[in-house]
Amino acid sequence: MKTQKLKFTFLVFIFSFSNLFSQYTEIINSNNPGFSESPYSVGSGVYQFESSFFLKNLSTNTPTSLDNSWGVDLAFRTSFFLERLEFDAALTFQRDRLLGNFTNAYTINSGLSKIMVGAKYLIFESTYKDKSKEIRSWKRRFAFDTKRLIPSIAVFAGVNTDFVSDVYKTNTVSPRIGILLQNELSNYFNVITNFFYDFIGTNFSEYQLTITGTYNFNDRWSWFLENQTIFQQNQTNTSFAGGLAFLFNKDLQINTSARFLREAGNNGSYITLGLSYRINRHVDSYKLLDENGNEIIDTPINRYNNKRKGFFNRIFSIFKKKNKGNKTRNRGKRKRNN
């Protein structure tokens, strides 16, 4: 009987462990090669770097307009404090070629054009049944779970800094806020939807709507399709993209994409080649549950912590004055052998 209870407790422990820390994944979860962002964090103890080299071309004859641009987007993602909370930093270095004013000459601008820092928090995580273990009914196993229509939701808040090259300075710091949604419509197909309000309070504020569909062919390959529309005060820019991602190993992903642009009445292209890598220092935590699924509070570790009166009391106890009273040492009398 005790053996059966022990086995059941172990199974409950494993189940609670996998659900409690669903933010962390065994393989890298990169936002590249698309422009959308997943609502999920990378997980605590994970330090993730995402890079993307891009080449942009526009067919335009308008003076002082962008004709050609290339550069690199860099992003850093990590989580601490909370599994649902992620901190992000992004920067862009680019080199732009602008068409001259009423001449055939070109103007070259280059430098850091973007430095943004922010954070996102997963406020709701969608749950659904795992039907892969359903063996009694073929219909139930392959029926669509309507709960998958309910997306996981995260909120984002960030700041566009002005620590950029002089040619790209706006002389202001502007907020960036957003809502991130993800629907896992099947075990292989996901849809991500992003709503962003960027450069708030400036003359070039904009709304961004990005919808991305991702399908996994197998454990290594996946492809995506994406549409992004940017609503500005005087114009609307739209892009359609497709691309591939290859999982080289659990911590390294290689990706590429091609994008058709429509900006200010001009057509263009945007090609990327990216690399995402993570340093994985994630350490799992757990709660010990009994056979009824309740957390076991009275454990030797908890009793020890309560006796020590908490973490900060243990720290401050180092600085407490010790008793300087006279100490005596009792020695037992030695018996002398005659």
Residue 8 has pLDDT above 50, yes or no: no
Residue 11 has pLDDT above 80, yes or no: no
Q: What is the pLDDT of residue 2?
A: 46
Residue 9 has pLDDT above 50, yes or no: no
Average pLDDT of the residues of the chain: 83
> DSSP readout, 221-284?
EEEEEEEEEEE-SS-EEEEEEEEEEEEEETTEEEEEEEEEEEETTEEEEEEEEEEEEEEE----
Provide the percentage of residues in the chain whose pLDDT is more than 90: 57
Task: Between 318 and 69, name the one with better pLDDT.
Answer: 69
| Domain-embedded: residue 102 | yes
Arithmetic mean of pLDDT, 119-128: 94
What digits encode the pLDDT tens for the residues 61-94? 665 567 789 999 999 999 988 899 999 999 999 9
| Domain-embedded: residue 285 | no
Which residues are CB-contacts of 161 (< 8 A; sequence separation ≥ 6)?
115, 116, 117, 173
| Domain-embedded: residue 7 | no
Task: Report the CATH number that the domain containing residue 102 is assigned in CATH.
Answer: 2.40.160.40
Arithmetic mean of pLDDT, 302-316: 52
Give the strand pairing for 152-160 and 174-184: antiparallel
| pLDDT tier for residue 103 given thresholds of 50, 70 and 90 | low
Q: What is the pLDDT of residue 331?
A: 47
Is the distance from CB of 280 to CB of 251 less than 8 angstroms? yes
Could you tell me the residue range of the domain that residue 129 belongs to?
A: 22-280
User: What pTM does this model have?
Assistant: 0.77
| pLDDT tier for residue 324 given thresholds of 50, 70 and 90 | very low
Q: Please tell me the total count of domains within the chain.
A: 1
Q: What is the pLDDT of residue 302?
A: 61
What digits encode the pLDDT tens for the residues 37-49? 999 999 999 999 9
Q: What is the pLDDT of residue 17?
A: 39
| Domain-embedded: residue 322 | no
| Domain-embedded: residue 243 | yes
